[in-house]
């Protein structure tokens, strides 16, 4: 069962401005990544469930976060159907992220009052998602649309909350462009938690990278 309400989750997304994205099949390595992100100031993690038995890994990471990392909000990404969403919510997922807009996922998440963030690529999809109670829209892939798309839709719909993933980097210029366009937060995966850092298990550098991005976001949001 989720430990954080969907309003808690969306407020944390708004306050911190970033959701790190991560997947690895090794549970112990995953715990160290979580700790590094937490020590760097992150209070959200999207576990991108893309591997075999990913649900087992997530269950252990969520237990670890609940016990050792107070205030760390664990969610799951790459969810493509309602059954998978239900499975991960049983394991305590506090938010569900999908690559596309699916009404079946909206229904099961709303039933449990869990935040769901659908991947949308048009104003029509965004409107449909919001009519089903969506609080945060995922713009995916962000590299295809860019900040100009966000700025355009925020004109007629200033209430829409957008989180781009894919096409978001850790550089100030990139972050500044996204936040100037009106995004609420950004999702960053391998540009933040890189294969090189994972291979060398350089958790100190990972922590510092997270802290630097969060500090940059705080500056560009002013």
The whole-number pLDDT of residue 123 equals 94
The answer, as to whether pTM is greater than 0.75, is yes
Instruction: Give me the mean pLDDT over the 181-190 stretch.
Output: 97
Residue ranges in the chain assigned as alpha helix (H): 6-16, 27-39, 54-68, 82-90, 103-111, 123-131, 142-154, 172-181, 195-199, 203-221
Distance of CA 111 to the CA centre of its chain: 21
In tens, the pLDDT along 7-47 reads: 999 999 999 999 999 999 999 999 999 999 999 999 999 99
Q: How many residues does the chain have?
A: 222
The tokens 């560009």 sit on which residue? Answer: 220
| Side-chain half-sphere CA neighbours of 124 within 13 A | 0
Q: Of 46, 40, 14, nearest to 166 (Cα)?
A: 46
The whole-number pLDDT of residue 206 equals 97
The whole-number pLDDT of residue 168 equals 96
Asked if 107 and 83 touch (Cβ cutoff 8 Å), the reply is no
How many other C-beta atoms can be found within 10 angstroms of the C-beta atom of residue 221? 14
The whole-number pLDDT of residue 222 equals 80
In tens, the pLDDT along 95-143 reads: 999 999 999 999 999 999 999 999 999 999 999 999 999 999 999 989 9
- The mean predicted confidence, pLDDT, of the chain is 96
Burial of 63 (0-12, 13-18, 19+ CB in 10 A): middle
Each residue of 168-178: b (16+ CB within 10 Å) or e?
Answer: bebeeebbbbb
Q: What DSSP character marks residue 121?
A: -
Instruction: Give me the mean pLDDT over the 201-218 stretch.
Output: 97
The whole-number pLDDT of residue 12 equals 98
Task: Sketch out the chain's domains with CATH numbers.
Answer: 6-215 (3.20.20.70)
Burial of 125 (0-12, 13-18, 19+ CB in 10 A): middle
Round to whole Å and give the CA distance between 164 and 2.
24
Distance of CA 15 to the CA centre of its chain: 13
Round to whole Å and give the CA distance between 128 and 120.
10
Cα dihedral value 1, 63, 208, 146, nearest 10: -30
């Amino acid at each position: 069962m989720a430990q954080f309400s969907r309003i808690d989750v969306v407020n944390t997304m708004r306050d911190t401005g970033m959701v790190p994205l991560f997947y690895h099949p090794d549970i112990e390595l995953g715990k160290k990544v979580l700790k590094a992100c937490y020590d760097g100031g992150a209070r959200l993690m999207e576990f991108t469930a893309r591997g075999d038995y990913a649900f087992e890994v997530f269950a252990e990471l969520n237990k670890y976060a609940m016990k050792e990392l107070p205030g760390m909000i664990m969610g799951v990404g790459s969810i493509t159907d309602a059954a998978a969403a239900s499975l991960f919510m049983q394991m305590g997922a506090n938010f569900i992220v999908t690559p596309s807009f699916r009404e079946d996922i909206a229904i099961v998440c709303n039933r449990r009052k869990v935040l769901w963030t659908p991947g949308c690529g048009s104003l029509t999809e965004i409107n449909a998602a919001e009519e089903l109670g969506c609080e945060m829209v995922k713009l995916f892939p962000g590299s295809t649309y860019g900040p100009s798309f966000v700025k355009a839709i925020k004109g007629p719909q200033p209430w829409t909350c957008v989180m781009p993933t894919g096409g978001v980097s850790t550089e100030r210029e990139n972050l500044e462009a996204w936040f100037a366009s009106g995004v609420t937060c950004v999702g960053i995966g391998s540009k933040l938690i890189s294969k090189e850092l994972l291979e060398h298990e350089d958790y100190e550098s990972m922590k510092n990278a997270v802290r630097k991005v969060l500090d940059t976001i705080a500056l560009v949001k002013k």
